[in-house]
C-alpha cells in the first residue's frame, strides 16, 4: 500500500465510526415509535436522497460522471445489500433473546470473518502483523462485552450473533468487490455504489413491508421529519465506509471500525456518568493496542 493511501482510509473509517454512533442513537429513539423493523428501514429509505446528494457533490468536485456498472458489479452489490439486511435482522432477533451484551461480543467477531472472506473471495492479503492486530482488537471487544457469570441464553442467540457477524462480513467484502469492479476513481466508484446499494435496500424493504406490515411502512413515511437525522447519518457513515473500502481491504476498515466501541464507551462515561469497570478498561486498552498495531502494519 502506498503511503498516501494510509491516512485517508483511516480518517474515513474513524469518521464513519463516529457517524454510525450518532445514527445508532437516532435509530434507538425511533424504535420506540416505529419498532425495530421500521427504525431499521429508516436507515435505508431516508438515506437514499442524501446518497444522491453525496454523489452529485463528488461529480461536481471531480468533473467525472458516474460510471456505467458492468455486469460483474450487480452480483457484488446485490449480495452486499441482501446480506446487510439479513445481518441486521439476525442481530435484532438475537438481541430479542435477552442477551444483548453476548450478542454484541459475537457480532464483533466480524473483522476476523471479513479477513477470511476477503482473502478467499478477493485475494486481499492478510499479513502476520495485520492478523495479530485483528485478533488483539477483537479480543478487546469481547473482553468488554462478556462478563463473568453472564448467561448466553442458549445456542440460538449465539448462532444468530455469529451469523450476523458473518453476514456483515460478507456484505463488507461484497461492497468492496462492487466498488473495485467500477472503472472510475475511488470517490466516484464509492459514491455510485452507495447510491445503488441504498436504493436497492430501500426498494426491497419497502416492498416487504407493503406486503407483510403496511402499518409500519405508513408509520415510517409519516415520521419523515425525525427520521431525516438517522437517514443522513446512516448515509454519511456508509459513504465513509465505502471510501475506506475503495482504498484498502475490508479487513483493515472493519478492524479500525472497532473504535466505535470506544466512542460508545466515552458517551456512557461522560454523557451518562456511568463508571468504567476494570474489565472494560482492559478491553479499551486491547482495542487501542490492536488499532495501533493495524496502522503500524500498513
For residue 1, the model assigns a pLDDT of 44
Low-confidence stretches of the chain (pLDDT < 50) are 1-4, 99
Read off the pLDDT of residues 35-57 as tens digits, 9 standing for 90 and up.
Answer: 778 888 888 999 999 999 999 99
How many Å apart are CA 257 and CA 69, to the nearest integer?
28
For residue 100, the model assigns a pLDDT of 52
For residue 171, the model assigns a pLDDT of 95
In three-state secondary structure terms, 247 is: helix
For residue 227, the model assigns a pLDDT of 87
For residue 15, the model assigns a pLDDT of 93
> Is residue 284 one of the residues assigned to a domain?
no
For residue 151, the model assigns a pLDDT of 52
> Is residue 12 one of the residues assigned to a domain?
yes
For residue 247, the model assigns a pLDDT of 92
> Is residue 73 one of the residues assigned to a domain?
yes
Read off the pTM: 0.86
Residue with cell 447510491: 195
Q: What percentage of the chain carries pLDDT values higher than 70?
A: 84
For residue 165, the model assigns a pLDDT of 87
Among positive and negative, which fits the CA dihedral 116, 192, 81, 49? positive
> Is residue 143 one of the residues assigned to a domain?
no
Domain count, the chain: 1
| Structural domain boundaries, residue 31 | 3-128+152-251
For residue 181, the model assigns a pLDDT of 96
How many Å apart are CA 266 and CA 19, to the nearest integer?
14
> Is residue 242 one of the residues assigned to a domain?
yes
Amino acid at each position: 500500500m502506498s503511503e498516501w493511501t494510509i491516512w485517508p482510509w483511516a480518517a474515513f473509517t474513524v469518521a464513519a465510526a463516529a457517524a454510525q454512533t450518532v445514527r445508532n442513537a437516532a435509530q434507538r429513539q425511533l424504535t420506540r415509535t416505529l419498532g425495530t423493523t421500521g427504525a431499521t428501514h429508516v436507515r435505508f429509505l431516508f438515506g437514499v436522497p442524501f446518497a444522491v446528494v453525496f454523489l452529485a457533490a463528488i461529480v461536481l468536485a471531480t468533473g467525472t460522471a458516474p460510471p456505467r456498472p458492468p455486469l460483474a458489479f450487480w452480483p457484488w452489490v446485490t449480495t452486499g445489500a441482501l446480506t446487510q439486511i439479513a445481518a441486521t435482522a439476525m442481530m435484532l432477533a438475537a438481541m430479542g433473546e435477552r442477551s444483548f451484551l453476548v450478542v454484541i461480543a459475537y457480532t464483533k467477531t466480524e473483522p476476523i470473518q471479513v479477513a477470511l472472506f476477503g482473502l478467499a473471495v478477493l485475494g486481499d492479503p492478510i499479513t502476520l502483523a495485520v492478523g495479530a492486530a485483528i485478533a488483539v482488537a477483537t479480543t478487546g471487544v469481547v473482553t468488554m462485552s462478556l462478563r463473568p457469570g453472564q448467561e448466553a441464553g442458549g445456542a440460538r442467540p449465539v448462532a444468530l450473533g455469529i451469523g450476523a457477524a458473518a453476514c456483515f462480513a460478507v456484505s463488507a467484502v461484497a461492497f468492496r468487490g462492487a466498488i473495485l469492479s467500477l472503472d472510475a476513481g475511488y470517490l466516484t466508484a464509492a459514491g455510485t455504489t452507495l447510491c445503488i446499494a441504498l436504493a436497492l435496500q430501500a426498494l426491497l424493504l419497502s416492498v416487504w413491508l407493503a406486503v407483510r406490515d403496511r402499518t409500519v411502512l405508513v408509520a415510517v413515511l409519516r415520521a419523515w421529519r425525525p427520521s431525516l437525522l438517522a437517514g443522513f447519518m446512516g448515509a454519511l457513515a456508509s459513504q465513509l465506509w465505502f471510501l475506506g473500502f475503495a482504498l484498502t481491504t475490508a479487513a483493515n476498515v472493519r478492524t479500525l471500525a472497532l473504535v466505535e466501541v470506544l466512542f460508545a464507551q466515552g458517551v456512557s462515561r461522560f454523557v451518562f456518568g456511568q463508571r468504567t469497570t476494570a474489565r472494560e478498561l482492559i478491553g479499551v486498552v486491547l482495542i487501542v493496542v490492536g488499532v495501533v498495531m493495524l496502522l503500524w502494519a500498513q
